Structure 1
Amino acid sequence: MSVDQYSVCPCGSGKKIKFCKCKDSIHEMERVLKMMSGGQMVAALDRLNQVLEEHPDAAWCLAIRGRLLLELKEDEALAENAERFIRLQPSNPLALTQQAAYRGVRGETQAAAESLLQALSESSSGVDTFVLDVASVLSLSFAQAGNLLSSRCFAGLALTAQGYENQRLASMAIEQVNRSREISNMLKDVPTLEVKPKTPAVRERYDEASVLLRANQILLAESKFESLARSNPQEEGVLRGLLVCAIWRGDAPRQSQILRKLSEIETIDIEQRARDLALSVLLTPDQPQISTPCANYTWEIEDLDLLEQELIAHARVVQLPAEVLRMAGNSDDNDVPPRSGFQLLDRELGDLDKLPEVEDAPMVLTNALLFGKQTDRPARLELLTVCQSERDEAIKFFTSLGGVTGEPQATEETIPLMSAANANMPIMRVSGTQAEARKLQTQVANREFVGRVLATPLPLFSDKPIGETVDDDAFTLQRTAIARVIESYDVMYDDPSVLARLRTELKVPELPAIAITNDDQLYTLPVDTLYRVDAESVSKQQLFILLDRARNFHCTPVIRATAQRLLAIDLGEDEAQIKPHAYLSLVDVTSDETKAMELLEEAKTWAKANNVSYAPMLLNECLRRIQAGDSNGFQATLQEIIRDFSDDAAVMGQLQQMLVELGIINPDGSPRNAPGPAAPMNVGSEPPAAAGGAGIWTPDSPTPPQPSGDGSKLWVPGNE
């Protein structure tokens, strides 16, 4: 088949083949494409190299060769190909995209973003799919680097392009961030250009720049915004335009700088200024303004046996189990592992055979590791990540022991506020269930959270503890900003009373509820403001939209409020579609296991009465029971699924996939590991190398729960 001389040349010039410089060699293209479609990638590369020797100006060869090299992960060859392509055609969008690709592979995300923005500026005849492919990869790179707003911009470029089908990477980058409860919801929205200048002359030039921005001509828009900013340095709309440009560029320090400047403009509403300041400190790499000093302390020990016995015998110390100790210390294979490890508590533990009451539950002050004598260093004691508020007590305790003398060597570092304010329980082996342990850990963390926040010194507060500034009007903006930062984390809504106490102590008002008047509000409200939506002001149809958006971003109180209302009202003919969704949504945000199981039972009863499949409820129950270590309940639920849905291939497939993901069975259906004998429950969690314990076991932890019972009662697909 001959090449159509009037089709667009694949070199990226935008010209038809007949009028492109590539026309003398384009007859080779069909042969190369046939090789590629047949999987002969190396042969295709060889042929492209031959064509380039004969026709050094064959840009179409460089365009196709670059795609092949990227797919084959030939990074050095891709860099050489892109440089040659750019020398040949400096403004070719495909050449610039190849440059972006190899810069991204090298981890130079900001430089990669600049190249890709240049490619977008040069894409006058439409954006090539190769540009979108690289934008998707770049979005994932930004997400992995923690530059979440920039990641969202490039992912959005791929997700909104008409006719583009390779959206998997972009979707992955967005979904991982959206559903994380540990990421601030302020970082799940790209700021928009809502504020416009009032002066006609400024407004006209601003409109020109904003049009370019919406057309993805970021570099041209930025040039116009910068020109406006020189003559109007306090113009809010212009600064917000520059902010969006900085996000596209992947320049996190610049983003933070612009937001800090906006927070200092006194003509802007105080709440908006506080929000700008909050976003500013969240966007700064490593968030230094809201991180508190801490340190690791090391003593050289003469008599390690004496110290170890003192720690084992002390009522305020818990020894780390061997399986936990293996995961502590440095991860370098060349380092000698710790000989033993301990957790120092804020009170005496006493003799426990069951979980303590919330008010009596101890907290971990620090984790201590003992290392034996090595060839090149003496025996030593290491305290890990001791915050300033706990430093004096920890140092006093360890220097009071007979085996510890002299001054320790300190290694300074910082820890984010949300980590410093999280109270951790020690690892204790007591009777009970994992669900009860998780509940206690949450209650203890909530008990201590506000006090720990107030006791934490931060650079944002001139290195003062936050609590010392509550009566100082000079820190009103900072206190409001820190309240909005904490409010933006979904984990804070498990117990709303904690946020209420925090606002009271900081003397920061609660933001008013938002009444919904039209559908557009539901789609355009920033994610962190979804929490304030008044569910009673929302229509039936809007309720489902609101629930869907809240689930996408895991906004717990919104999911709870909308699901409860959907279950309480008559939905008419939509009931069979929406009510199961509402039930499962409510179950997902119910932390109390007893209540969750009651809801699932209610959902199954409703589904059976209304001829709706209750398989999703059973699968959800199955997952929760295995996470709670309830072997008997898990077994009963499995048998119910088999009994009622063994003929439904879709349900059985979902069951098998779930059991594979949990590590219970292999992909072929054979059991991975048989459950062992009954084991005591672990409260607390493994301390990482340079941090305190981080809460009790969760489904994401390295060690799965051990179901109780004698022998294996677990059915797995494939067993008789």
Structure 2
Amino acid sequence: MAIDNYSPCPCGSGKKIKFCKCVDQTHDLEKVVKLIEGGQSVAAIDRINQLLKATPNAACLLALKGELALHLEEEEMFKDTANRFLKLKPDNPLALIMKSIVASLDDEPGENVARYLLQGLAEARQAVPPLAVTAIRILVRKLTLTRKEAFVCYWSELVSRLLPDDQRNEDASLLDPSLNLIAKLPAQVAKDPPNAPWSERLAEVHSLTRTFRYEQAESKLRAILRDFPDQPGPLSHLLRAQVAQVDQSGAFATATKLASHSQLTASERTFYGALALELEPQRVSLQSCATFEYYELSSETDFEEAMAANPNAKLMPNSDAFSEELRQQFAMGVQDEIPAKRIYFIFDQPMPANNDGPRQILRNVGTVVLFGKQTDQPSRTLLCSSGFRSQEALFDQLRQSLPLGNRIEGKLLLTTPEYTESICKMRQIVGEPNTELTLQELDESFIEDFLDLPLDLLDKSTATEIAQDERYRQRLLCLLLHLEAEQSFIVSKKCLDDVYSRLGLERIVTTRPDERIDNIFWNVIDADRHDLASLPDTELHSAFIQAMAFGASRIHFRAAVEILSRPSDDLQMQLRLAALNCALQNEPQIDGKINYCAALEDLLAEHGESVGQVVVYRANLLNMAGRKSDAQRVLTESAQKYPADPYLLSFFQYAMRERSSQPEVQPNHLAMKMMQNASRPKETMHDDGSPANSGLVLPGQDTTGSTGESKLWLPGS
């Protein structure tokens, strides 16, 4: 197939082949492209290598070889080709973008990766190479893994701008509910006074940033600030330039300066202060005061007797793969090759002898780990405390009861968890009824935990202890805004109102009046402060869609519940379907999930869609709730009601195979086994593959789905 000379040259220069220096290689390109189109990537690389011997400086051949090597995951070949390409064409956009990928593969700092990317985008005057989207996604992944989420917003939005409209939803960086909303919002720009003397120079800055020349823009901004020191407008533009360049130390310093700027409003200072918490290197200010103490034991027998006699301790059984994995994780945390021997959970109240008593909600406040005696070292114990102020005396008593020897220093690899990992994730329910926490109980747990947690940001004080101290007022307001923007827990609007009320503070609205356009919330954090029941349908739907776009799970859930509470006659099927899916995913109680499943089944059936997966999931939920006869009835009735549903047909075929292979299995047991093997929606599993109902919640796991009868958080795990 002949190559169109008016198509873009594969070398990435942005020129058409006819006007590019690569026009002399058109014949060679045709042969390579023919191999690629035939799916012969390896043969295409061999052909390119032969051609490069004759024309070693052919940029188009190097570009194709680099992209093929990346596609085939030939890392070393890609690195060599990209470095050779950049050396030959130092201003080539594609060469610079390839170099950014090499920097990521070599684990260079994020700012190095961003610098190559920005240089490549700046040089792409006519068209951005498609590989830029891949390079940006690699950078976003790197930023997320290295806890630099505050830089994700700029690059994720850039991906959306580069993708065609029908592919923009494929990029899910901003949909991740584990990212704080502060990191997903662009940094605010402070307004300049009318006729500011630096206006013309600032226009030059805008011209540079539009073409991705942030390094030059930063130089001009610093020149403006030398002539007009500490002006908030230029400072806010400097912050954006530093964020785009992934300059963490510089962005943190600028945000901190803006957070205390006297010319800004209280809401603006609070926003910049919350952003500074996200930008801070190592994020020390967000850490809780959890402690890890590692000791030798003078007697392992005395230790086990003391723990057995402790009414607040519960031994974790060593009977499953999850327990084995956890014991291995703790061993890694103390640099030991032998898994831990015992793991005990410490609760704030005595554990009842059995579960026959009245319902109690116990708070897991720590973990004690036993490491057995080895040839070269004695028995040891690791004491992990969540750091709650009200539990300090409990841990003092625990230390006194144990035969502790010398404290071991310098062996721990455990990191102090951030405060959000300690909130509302440490409860076990005992007694009857043994049901999941209600939304009201989640609210109470949230408030209890947050107000009882000392923080480094507050000089190891709790929010309650320093609420009326003016020296800490601004820091506390910034922390509260950061807390509001955290999406790892589902609580009501009243819960957050109560936190402010108990501290004697008012919630600061961050949206300026002129930023509210057509009654649509510009700032999704502010939407969470609004009474959604008072919104007309149009605004409610806008808030729901905006929350979905930002991965704001709390406001998304609240909006979904409100949408479903209203008459559905005029509601679009897709919007109602999205609302039901959201409510199903975030509803904390299993009975609520069952009801949403039933509504979702009816909606899908009404529009002629397959209901099989929803039916099986509903039956699975009923089985988990102990309603086995209801689960069997749902499956039986659905088989009669939807005889042509492809998913149900496949499911029942599997059931018949199981029945024929195991005739002794009783019907209820068979239904249970079928549902255990059925496909489950994503929210029933944690990201690491562990079941959401395993009874354990590790820091960083999504707990917005169904909570099981027991949820334990392990500090430092």
Moved more, 329-338 or 636-645: 329-338
Deviation track 1:643-669 (CA, whole Å, cap 9, x = no partner) reads 322313378789999x9xx993378xx
**Secondary structure, counterpart of 1:369 in structure 2:** strand
Q: Is residue 467 from structure 1 mapped to residue 469 from structure 2 by the alignment?
A: no
> Offset of 1:519 from its aligned partner?
9.0
Deviation track 1:128-167 (CA, whole Å, cap 9, x = no partner) reads 2122332233233323333334333333323222648776
Specify the code of the residue in structure 1 equivalent to 2:340: P
Moved more, 239-248 or 542-551: 542-551
The change in CA–CA distance for 1:192 and 1:644 in structure 2 (over 3 A counts) is: farther
8 Å Cα contact 1:185/1:528 also seen in 2: yes
Q: Is residue 281 from structure 1 mapped to residue 282 from structure 2 by the alignment?
A: no
Q: Which residue of 1 aligns with 2:347?
A: 345
> Offset of 1:271 from its aligned partner?
1.8
Distance 1:514 1:499 in 2: 18
Distance 1:138 1:654 in 2: 41
> Offset of 1:32 from its aligned partner?
0.7
**Secondary structure, counterpart of 2:311 in structure 1:** coil
Instruction: From 588, 612, 625, give the equivalent of 2:622.
Output: 625
8 Å Cα contact 1:369/1:383 also seen in 2: yes
Distance 1:318 1:631 in 2: 30
8 Å Cα contact 2:297/2:378 also seen in 1: yes
8 Å Cα contact 2:346/2:366 also seen in 1: yes
**Secondary structure, counterpart of 1:97 in structure 2:** helix
Distance 2:258 2:515 in 1: 30
Moved more, 573-582 or 377-386: 573-582
Distance 1:16 1:87 in 2: 22
Q: Which residue of 2 aligns with 1:133?
A: 134
8 Å Cα contact 1:7/1:16 also seen in 2: yes
Deviation track 1:279-329 (CA, whole Å, cap 9, x = no partner) reads 211232442112133332223223212321232233222111113642333
Q: Which residue of 2 aligns with 1:102?
A: 102
Q: Is residue 244 from structure 1 mapped to residue 252 from structure 2 by the alignment?
A: no
Q: Is residue 208 from structure 1 mapped to residue 210 from structure 2 by the alignment?
A: no
Distance 1:347 1:568 in 2: 39
Q: Which residue of 2 aligns with 1:425?
A: 427
Distance 2:703 2:186 in 1: 34
Moved more, 324-333 or 46-55: 324-333
Q: Which residue of 2 aligns with 1:326?
A: 324
Q: Which residue of 2 aligns with 1:27?
A: 27
Deviation track 1:160-216 (CA, whole Å, cap 9, x = no partner) reads 226487768x613333x1xx2x43222222235463453343122223322443444
- Give the structure-2-normalised TM-score: 0.81
Q: Which residue of 2 aligns with 1:143?
A: 144
> Offset of 1:277 from its aligned partner?
0.5
Q: Which residue of 2 aligns with 1:546?
A: 543
Q: Which residue of 2 aligns with 1:371?
A: 371
8 Å Cα contact 2:597/2:614 also seen in 1: yes
The change in CA–CA distance for 1:124 and 1:554 in structure 2 (over 3 A counts) is: closer
Q: Which residue of 2 aligns with 1:231?
A: 227
8 Å Cα contact 1:367/1:383 also seen in 2: yes
8 Å Cα contact 1:307/1:402 also seen in 2: yes
Once the two structures are superposed, the pairs formed by residues 255-274 of structure 1 within 5 Å of their partners are 255-274=251-270
The change in CA–CA distance for 1:96 and 1:174 in structure 2 (over 3 A counts) is: same
Instruction: From 309, 315, 339, give the equivalent of 1:313.
Output: 309
**Secondary structure, counterpart of 1:201 in structure 2:** coil
Distance 2:607 2:77 in 1: 61
Q: Which residue of 1 aligns with 2:417?
A: 415
Q: Which residue of 1 aligns with 2:661?
A: none
> Offset of 1:59 from its aligned partner?
0.9
8 Å Cα contact 1:9/1:20 also seen in 2: yes
Instruction: From 668, 673, 676, give the equivalent of 1:664.
Output: 676
Q: Which residue of 1 aligns with 2:437?
A: 439
Q: Which residue of 1 aligns with 2:400?
A: 400
Q: How large is the Cα RMSD of the aligned pairs?
A: 4.2
> Offset of 1:222 from its aligned partner?
3.3
The change in CA–CA distance for 1:377 and 1:585 in structure 2 (over 3 A counts) is: closer
8 Å Cα contact 1:365/1:390 also seen in 2: no
Distance 2:703 2:74 in 1: 44
**Secondary structure, counterpart of 1:353 in structure 2:** coil
Specify the code of the residue in structure 1 equivalent to 2:277: V
**Secondary structure, counterpart of 1:387 in structure 2:** coil
> Offset of 1:268 from its aligned partner?
0.6
- Give the structure-1-normalised TM-score: 0.81
> Offset of 1:439 from its aligned partner?
1.0
Specify the code of the residue in structure 2 equivalent to 1:261: K
Q: Which residue of 1 aligns with 2:52?
A: 52
Q: Is residue 83 from structure 1 mapped to residue 83 from structure 2 by the alignment?
A: yes
Specify the code of the residue in structure 1 equivalent to 2:141: L
**Secondary structure, counterpart of 1:25 in structure 2:** helix
> Offset of 1:685 from its aligned partner?
3.7
Specify the code of the residue in structure 2 equivalent to 1:96: L
Deviation track 1:455-487 (CA, whole Å, cap 9, x = no partner) reads 433332234443332222122111211111212
> Offset of 1:37 from its aligned partner?
1.6
8 Å Cα contact 2:11/2:94 also seen in 1: yes
8 Å Cα contact 2:362/2:429 also seen in 1: no
Q: Which residue of 1 aligns with 2:529?
A: 532
Specify the code of the residue in structure 2 equivalent to 1:118: Q
Tell me the matched-pair count: 673
Specify the code of the residue in structure 1 equivalent to 2:365: L
Deviation track 1:315-354 (CA, whole Å, cap 9, x = no partner) reads 2221111136423334368721222222233332232324
Distance 2:653 2:168 in 1: 27
The change in CA–CA distance for 1:664 and 1:121 in structure 2 (over 3 A counts) is: same
8 Å Cα contact 2:296/2:379 also seen in 1: yes
**Secondary structure, counterpart of 1:344 in structure 2:** strand
Structure 1: runs of 5+ lacking an equivalent: 668-680, 705-720
**Secondary structure, counterpart of 1:381 in structure 2:** strand
Q: Is residue 61 from structure 1 mapped to residue 73 from structure 2 by the alignment?
A: no
Distance 1:151 1:356 in 2: 47
Distance 2:123 2:565 in 1: 55
8 Å Cα contact 1:387/1:420 also seen in 2: no
Percent of paired sites with the same residue: 21
8 Å Cα contact 1:22/1:57 also seen in 2: no
**Secondary structure, counterpart of 1:42 in structure 2:** helix
The change in CA–CA distance for 1:538 and 1:221 in structure 2 (over 3 A counts) is: farther
Distance 1:563 1:686 in 2: 28
